[in-house]
Amino acid sequence: MSTPMNFVGLVSVIEQTHRHFQQQAVKAVNVSLTIRNWLVGCYIVEFEQHGEDRASYGVALLDRLATEIKIKGLVSAELSRCRQFYFCYPQILGLVTQEFKSLLPSAIVGSLTQEFDSELKRLNEMPINPESSAKKLQVPAGKLLHHLSYTHLVELIKIQDHLKRTFYEIECIKGTWSVRELKRQIHSLYFERCGMSAKPEMLSKLTQSKTEIEHSTDIIKSVYAFEFLGLNSKDAIEENDLESALLNHLQLFMLEMGHGFCFEARQKKILIDDEYYFIDLVFYHRILKCHVLVELKMKELKHHNIGQLNTYVAYYNAEVKRPDDNPAIGILLCTEKGKKLVEYATAGMDQQLFVSKYLLELPKKEQLEAFIEKELELWK
């Protein structure tokens, strides 16, 4: 006869069961997304090499393909990334042939010899070992797919050197790094510093003890997962989050100012140099005939924040502004405790000609600072 369960035990077992299946669902979405993108890259390469009408497409293939398929997220730049992903991770072929063989072009399937199959099996059974030789060092496909999100892999394929990329794969898996942590470690030249260290294992231990850990549910919040599932990026916003609440109220505040603001987008996604960025709020001002981009920073204002907003403004001036529009302007709000700052970004703008005119119609700094102060008081 089983031991009776108390109420605390009941709560615990339900929560554990939920977490288990939630993690399984997250992994399933990530694996499906990753394999789909690998297959897309495979199809493109196969067409480029063996397609009957490939010559008529030429360099415009990806643009034409993106226009025709109309799949959310698979724009030309993403199709190019899928192609690169296919070339960077050939070991994924082992998993694809086992589970999705019917989806592969016959030419690819036919090229799998018994010798190649046995080599893939050896690689997939090989444990992760940072001290393996460069020639043999390759992270098995199963470990890549079940421990790294596709967003991780997007960052990794930017690394051309195979050994360097494998190094970061291993360290990322070992430390369960977030994507932000992976990017930080790459920018800090962790690989190069490790190579120069007399005791690299000591540096590795120290680095791993200070890194930001990835949680399984974070994977599902990536832009790639949202698009793959047919969701909008705004679906990721948690209603109880302070930043979300501030943005909700700021949006209404701007519209109620009565100065001609027309709301266009929340978390507007733009693509610059193969990397996605998100602008918190985008308005069009019908009096000034220009776009107004608003960014909210829940921390101390840094110089790079202003530079980032200036980049957004420059992007809008180059890619979005119509001939009869005036140049875009950006508003940066900082909510650091004890210091509520507002900065205006005017990238490439003739200061004397435009800024004075803009500031007559835009909310004054004092108004925005008072708004932030009032909102933060509600959360104390």
Q: Set out the domains of the chain in order of their start, with CATH numbers.
A: 7-224 (no CATH), 237-377 (3.40.1350)
* pLDDT band at residue 166 under the 50/70/90 scheme: very high
- The CB-side HSE value for 347 (13 A sphere, CA atoms) comes to 20
Find, among 19, 14, 367, the residue nearest to 216 by Cα.
19
Task: Give bridge partners of residue 294 from the DSSP assignment.
Answer: 281, 331
What's the rounded mean pLDDT across residues 266-276?
Answer: 83
* pLDDT band at residue 243 under the 50/70/90 scheme: low
Mean pLDDT is lowest, of 12-21, 166-175, 245-254, 274-283, for 245-254
For residue 163, the tally of other CB atoms under 10 A from its CB is 13
d(CA 374, CA 38): 49
Q: Whole-number mean pLDDT of the chain?
A: 75
More confident residue, 341 or 64: 64
More confident residue, 280 or 360: 280
d(CA 272, CA 174): 31
Q: Which residue type sits at 373?
A: E
Alpha-carbon distance values, 167 to 86, 173, 176, 182, 276 (Å): 19, 10, 14, 11, 25
What's the rounded mean pLDDT across residues 170-193?
Answer: 87
Find, among 169, 163, 179, 185, the residue nearest to 128 by Cα.
169
pLDDT at residue number 236: 44
**pTM metric for this prediction:** 0.61
pLDDT at residue number 130: 45
More confident residue, 218 or 15: 15
Q: Is 139 exposed, middle or buried (0-12, 13-18, 19+ CB in 10 A)?
A: buried
Most confident of 105-119, 186-200, 226-240: 186-200
pLDDT more than 70, % of the chain: 65
**pLDDT tens-digit readout, 296-336:** 877 666 777 778 888 898 899 889 999 999 888 888 877 66
